[in-house]
Each structure stands twice: as C-alpha cells, then as structure tokens.
Amino acid sequence: MEDLGKTMQDVARRLLEEGKVDLIVGYEKGTTPIRSTPCFIREAGDVQKLIWDPTCEANLTKYLLDRDERIGVVAKGCDSRSIVVCLAEGQIDRDRVTIIGVPCQGVINRKKIEAELDKQEVVEATVNDEEIKVRGEGFEKVLPTTNYLCDSCLSCRHRNPVIYDFLVGEKVPEVEDANDFAEVEELESRSSEDRWDYFTEELGSCIRCYACRNVCPMCYCKECFVDETMPQWFGKTDDLSDTMIFHIVRAYHLAGRCVDCGACSRACPMEINLRALRKKAEKIVKERFDYEAGTDVEEAPVLGTFKQDDSQEYIIK
Amino acid sequence: MLETLIAEDDKEVPEKGKSGDEWEPKIIAFLCNWCSYAGADLAGISRIQYPPNIRVVRVPCSARVSPYFIIKILQRGWDGVLVSGCHPGDCHYISGNLVARRRFSVLKDILEYVGVEPGRVNFSWISAAEGERFSKVVKEVVMRVKALGPAERLVKGG
C-alpha cells in the first residue's frame, strides 16, 4: 500500500505548509520488524516518515486528548469512531482537529505471527494487505495477511472512517453481515457457573499493569476509579476479587463508548481475552437501547440519557 | 452508612454464612427517600410482616446508587442487594429513576455475564402507598438469595 502512504504524506505536507495544523500524528516504521510506532511531525520536511500498512495498529485518538495544538490525525474506521465518542463527550474540540481518514482492511496481531513462527526471530519483514513476507536467520516465509489480523478486525463492520476531513485512498467495501458478537453469544449460551470459571481463569492472570486502561482513548478520566483513595472504592491488589471488579467496572464504563478498536487486547501483556467483556457491554446497549457508539456526534451518550420506554423486564414485578 | 460500606474494619460485614437451615442471608436495601423508603415506613406502621434480612440505606434517589455501591457490597460479602426507587413517572427529581433504570440494566447484565448469580442484585419500584408491595418484594428477594446460598463469587478473601 505504498501509494496510500504517499497520499497521506502529501496531505500531511500540505496541512503543515499551509499552517492549518501544528502537529501531524501518524505512524512511522517501528524499530523492530512488523511493527509501526506513532510518530509526531511538526515540520513539513519530515512527512516522508509517515507510513500506512497493516502494522499501523495504534489508536491515535489518545494523542488528541488534553492537547492545545491544532492536530492532524490519521484515523482508521475504528479510530474515527473513537474520535466521534470523544467529540460527543466534549473531550476533543472539533475545530482543533483535522482528521485524515484512511479506509482499513484490518491490522495485524503480531502475537499471532509470533505463534506461527514458533519463537524464530524475524530480522526483516515487508507487509501489505495481501501478504506478510518475513525473513530471519535460516528461514523465509510468506504469510497471507488475512490470517493474522486482530480479532476485532476479523469481524469489523466499520472499515471506513465515519468522520474525516481528508480521505486517503478509496473507500473499501464494508462487511455488513460480519457477526462481531459470535464469541459473546457463545459465552452467553453457557451456564452462569461456566462463565464464572471462564472469567476467573482469564482475568485471574491480570497483573493490574493498567496497560489496557492507559492505551484506551475512552479512559481519559484524570483520576481512574482504581486510583482513587478518598474513598478508596476498590483494592489495588491482584487478588481475584479486585481484578475481577477492575475489569467489570471498566466494561461498565465502556458500555456505549467502546468501539472495539482492540487497543486494550493488543496492549495486554498477559493476553487476556478483554474482547469478551467489552463486546458484551457493546451488545447490551445495542440490544437494550439500539445504540452504537461512535456513529453520530450529535447523539447523547447512552448512559447519560433515557427513554420512557426503556426495557425494565429485570425489575421485580 | 456509606462509610461502613467502605471501611475495612467495620462490624456490619456479615460473618461467613453457613449453608443449611440456620443460615440467614444479609441483604442491603437502598430505598429512595421519596417513595420506597416511605413505602417501607408504611409497611412498618401498618404492621405488615416481612423478613428481617434486610438492612435499609436511605438514599435521596435511586439514581444516587452508584454501581460502585453494589459491587462493593458484593465484594464485602453481603449476600444480596436490593435497590428500589419511585415508579417511572413518579420520580421526585423527574427522571432520576429513568437514568438509574438504564444504568442498572447494563450493570446487572455485565455482572450476570461474568458469572454473578442472577438474583444477587435486584431492583424494584415501590411507591409510598405500597407497604404491602414492599413486604412482597422483600420476601421475593430473600427467597431468591436464600435459594442461591451464601455469596462466594466476587467476595474478597472468599
């Protein structure tokens, strides 16, 4: 996808030269193969650093929060939805942000490639939407990109940005019938006991590093509920009860806000299945309130509003 | 009362219950000042009987009940929670109970999804005129919690 990278650079250069933005936030090649890293460009001369390929996984919305500069930001489908949520919640000033939208066909989950290569070290890699060529000491492989995408991308229904000022490249066809709740449905079909066992097993390995929270563009609170001390609601230990509660409350806080960009799953060092929780929160608001996060800037945040005829089947008759 | 929920060394926290005939669940009931608390009061002055398993916390509105309260209560080892407010349309603050209704539905769904038993966390609408209904709801909640036995999941150190 060399050409998209070029187009992106042209847009960025123009924005900087015309003085429309002070800063461009995009992706550049990482220091290790199959990896990109966020890059921050202030000079038009530096725009050739910008790249676009399936390694561009980070959700850059996080870098728009709490900034005074005018920022041009590269946004995939999911990233653009998280920008919409932050706009709707008044966290980002639309006038200060220029969104360079880019249609996306999924980003790579490096852990899946690592598993495939069985700990062999990759020295060099080239990546595009069709294939990943990896080369290391004594081996060379060509892997089809679609087999190594993030779980969120495999059932993505918003590949094109929902909001943008510039669109880089052509829109890609949306997969409307993707069932992104398949895993949640499977879990729902199990007994309460089974689910408890499943989640205690998954979340039990949490080390409370808070990488999931820190990478999440929705977690912009100045003081997170787990950091509060007056009152200290919940313990900071890695006791099972405390970790379970951290993840339950985080899922609750994400209800109607999470856009399933997958940043938390990729950030998790313990490879916890965080998606099973956040997708449930998404499913609840979809089924109960017919609401999908990050599709409409004008719509009120789902838990900040109500309808007279909201479901109340759970209320004791 | 809120302080006692949070304080780590209070005496209100139930001792680890034993299953069996002699086990009685301890349940916290958050009642809104304007309807449900008055409903409980009416049950009292009308001498309507209900099980003594609930400890009442009076709150200004059902929307005052933060999800943190509910989760904290479960973590501290209480066997069940009841939150009760005014019927939709009757809220003293016009729409507090309607906001709470959305919030609680999401919270309850998530809790049950991770495996907290359905029946631990309960919600109802009770008006100031419904003393009889208050008694009925409390009986229902106590029955549900008794059927589940002592709380174990989410209980810290449990």
For A232-288, how does the pLDDT look when each residue is reduced to its tens digit (9 = 90+)? 899 999 899 999 999 999 999 999 999 999 999 999 999 999 999 999 999 999 999
CB-side exposure of A307: number of CA atoms within 13 Å?
12
Which residues numbered 22-81 in A keep a CB inside 8 Å of some CB on B? none
* Amino acid code (one letter) for A231: P
What local confidence, expressed as pLDDT, does residue B44 receive?
Answer: 96
pLDDT band at A310 (very low <50, low <70, confident <90, very high): very high
What local confidence, expressed as pLDDT, does residue A301 receive?
Answer: 92
Q: How far apart are CA A124 and CA A183, in angstroms?
A: 34
* Amino acid code (one letter) for A171: K
What local confidence, expressed as pLDDT, does residue A194 receive?
Answer: 97
What local confidence, expressed as pLDDT, does residue A3 receive?
Answer: 80
Average pLDDT of the residues of chain A? 94
Tokens of B81: 């929670």
What local confidence, expressed as pLDDT, does residue B22 receive?
Answer: 80
pLDDT band at A119 (very low <50, low <70, confident <90, very high): confident
The DSSP symbol for A44 reads G
DSSP element (H, E) containing A283: helix A275-289
Distances (CA, A) of B70 to A33, B53, B65, B149: 47, 17, 8, 18
| Residue in A197, A252, A315 closest to B107 by CB | A252
What local confidence, expressed as pLDDT, does residue A2 receive?
Answer: 52
- Yes or no: say if A225 and A210 are a contact pair by the CB < 8 Å rule: no
What local confidence, expressed as pLDDT, does residue B15 receive?
Answer: 59
What local confidence, expressed as pLDDT, does residue B2 receive?
Answer: 63
- Asked if A224 has any chain B CB less than 8 Å from its own CB, the reply is no
Residue in chain B nearest A312 by alpha carbon? B101
User: How confident is the model over A71-85, as a mean pLDDT?
Assistant: 97
What local confidence, expressed as pLDDT, does residue B110 receive?
Answer: 97
Q: What is the number of other CB atoms lying within 10 angstroms of the CB of residue A292?
A: 17
| Residue in B68, B111, B156 closest to A239 by CB | B156
By C-alpha distance, which of A4, A29, B14 is closest to A38? A29
Per residue in B12-41, pLDDT (tens digit) is 555 555 555 689 999 999 999 999 999 999
User: How confident is the model over A15-24, as a mean pLDDT?
Assistant: 96
- Do A245 and B95 lie within an 8 Å CB cutoff? no
What local confidence, expressed as pLDDT, does residue A207 receive?
Answer: 95
Question: Is it the case that residue A1 has pLDDT exceeding 50?
Answer: no
User: How confident is the model over A131-151, as a mean pLDDT?
Assistant: 92
Task: Please report the domains of chain B, with CATH numbers, ordered by start residue.
Answer: 24-148 (3.40.50)
User: How confident is the model over A111-119, as a mean pLDDT?
Assistant: 88
- Yes or no: say if A50 and A24 are a contact pair by the CB < 8 Å rule: yes
Per residue in A173-221, pLDDT (tens digit) is 998 888 899 999 999 999 999 999 999 999 999 999 999 999 999 999 9
Distances (CA, A) of A288 to A44, A279, A313, B58: 48, 14, 11, 29
What local confidence, expressed as pLDDT, does residue B1 receive?
Answer: 56
Q: How far apart are CA A62 and CA A65, in angstroms?
A: 6
Tokens of B10: 């209070």
Longest dimension (CA), chain A: 69
Q: How far apart are CA A104 and CA A260, in angstroms?
A: 14
| Residue in A199, A285, A315 closest to B115 by CB | A199
What local confidence, expressed as pLDDT, does residue A118 receive?
Answer: 86
For the question of whether the overall pTM of this predicted structure is more than 0.90, the answer is yes
For β-strands B80-85 and B27-32, DSSP reports them as: parallel
> Is the Cα dihedral A202, A207, A210, A211 positive or negative?
negative
End-to-end distance of chain B based on CA atoms, in angstroms? 23
Question: Is it the case that residue A43 has pLDDT exceeding 70?
Answer: yes
What local confidence, expressed as pLDDT, does residue B3 receive?
Answer: 60
